[in-house]
Structure 1
Amino acid sequence: MQWYLKVLKNYVGFHGRASRTEFWMFFLINAIITFLLSLLDNFANTDNMISGIYGLLTLLPLIAVGVRRLHDIGKSGWWYLISLIPFIGTIILLILACFKSEDHENRFGPVPR
């Protein structure tokens, strides 16, 4: 849960680097919360209003941690725009998020610990 809160606190931080653990733990917890809120929406018959609001609230932190993750592997944050290509772009972005971090300080900052 600490990784999730760390990303939320740094929701507009597009500078620096994010480790694989930070990115994937946020992604996992976010997916679980979205799933649970979708279930709540179905039981409350609210037409995905609750999960939609949550999705909008976490959109900026998700983009920010994705950009920082790209920085960690030495790519520019502009690579995040590849996700605009339907289906294939998202797959490419998820594959890039799986790459190992650069072991040394790069132009985006020191190695995250």
Structure 2
Amino acid sequence: MAEPIPVGPDGVPPLWAPWYGIGFLDAFLRFFKKYARFDGRAGRSEYWYWFLANAIVTIVLYGGFIALLIATSPTTTVVDDYGYSRDVSGAPSPFAFVLLGLFGLWWLATLVPNLALAWRRLHDANLPGPLWLVSLIASPAAIVFGCLPSNPAGARYDRPDLR
């Protein structure tokens, strides 16, 4: 039988241990606390709540860029001497490119922790972290890996000595 996950006086498991049943905000904050930790495990709720938070930020930043690009680019129809018409677009709002820059910074800032979280999620299913590389070839594998149930044998990846 697997040993229970230890919790502190506040009911929060240490960073090296998985936090099953974590809430949305706690999962978001824990993601950044475990920025580049490839040891330990991450439960499904920790993985999927972060996935949701990341999707929301991405949609706001990149979706805002696309919306501003479409909404603020002036388009004029020009007819040449032969009767052919074409659309000529002007420069979009500079704020659109600010959003694109923020999206790029967000992507860079979360690249390593996204990989670390996926790695720990595989550990929770008692699979080796490098198996994540399969998702580079077959992207649906990332969804499958995120849905795998926890396996108590995954505790072998915990590192209580690295508090």
The bucket for the TM-score relative to the shorter chain is 0.7 to 0.9
User: Quick one: higher RCO (CA 8 Å, sep 6+), 1 or 2?
Assistant: 1
Higher share in helix: 1
Higher share in strand: 2
For residues 105 and 61 of structure 1, do their structure 2 counterparts lie closer, same or farther at Cα, with a shift above 3 Å needed?
closer
Q: CA separation in 2, counterparts of 1:36 and 1:82?
A: 29
Matched to 1:13, the amino acid is: R
Determine what percentage of the aligned residue pairs are the same residue: 34
Q: Give, in angstroms, the shift of residue 49 of structure 1.
A: 2.1
TM-score by length of 2: 0.60
TM-score by length of 1: 0.85
- Once the two structures are superposed, what CA deviation does each residue of 1:66-103 show, in whole Å capped at 9, x if it has no partner? 00000000100001111221xxx220121121011014
Aligned residue-pair number: 107
Mapping 1:71-90, distance limit 5 Å: 71-85=123-137, 89-90=138-139
Aligned match of 2:107 = 55
Aligned residues: CA RMSD: 1.8
Aligned match of 1:108 = 157
Q: CA separation in 1, counterparts of 2:110 and 2:149?
A: 25
- Consecutive unaligned residues in structure 2, runs of 5 or more: 1-24, 69-94
Runs of 4+ in 1 over 4 A off after TM superposition: none
Larger Rg: 2
